[in-house]
Structure 1
Amino acid sequence: MVQDSGVVITMGCGHACPVYPGKRYLDWGTADPSEENLQGVRGIVDTIDARAEALWDQIRN
């Protein structure tokens, strides 16, 4: 799936994620949701949602 993508988003996996030449990589490091309460998890989801919306706006324009 990565090979068919134009933008690859990782979330703090560092060198554990494979890297394919010619792809745009964004690392959206986030807190570990397993260490958060419900409010913390909602904050993580809201942050990812906002980043995804901003990226989508950037890509389609």
Structure 2
Amino acid sequence: MRLAAGALAVFVADLSVIVYKRATGALAVFVADLSVIVYKRATGALEVFTAPTTTPLRSKRTE
């Protein structure tokens, strides 16, 4: 019984380490992807904001 309990304890400990490593790895990947998305959106918005307008808002005709 002690052997089974010890093996179970080791298994649970290993499993928790694996789950923790996978969770932190997934979180790191998610944060990296999110920062890239935020950066791309921010730069895209900045480019749109600073882009010169090619069409005039109002044209004045002289006759």
By relative contact order (CA 8 Å, sep 6+), the higher-ranking structure is: 1
TM over 0.5, shorter chain: no
Give the strand-richer structure, 1 or 2.
1
TM-score (norm 2): 0.39
Give the helix-richer structure, 1 or 2.
2
Larger radius of gyration: 2
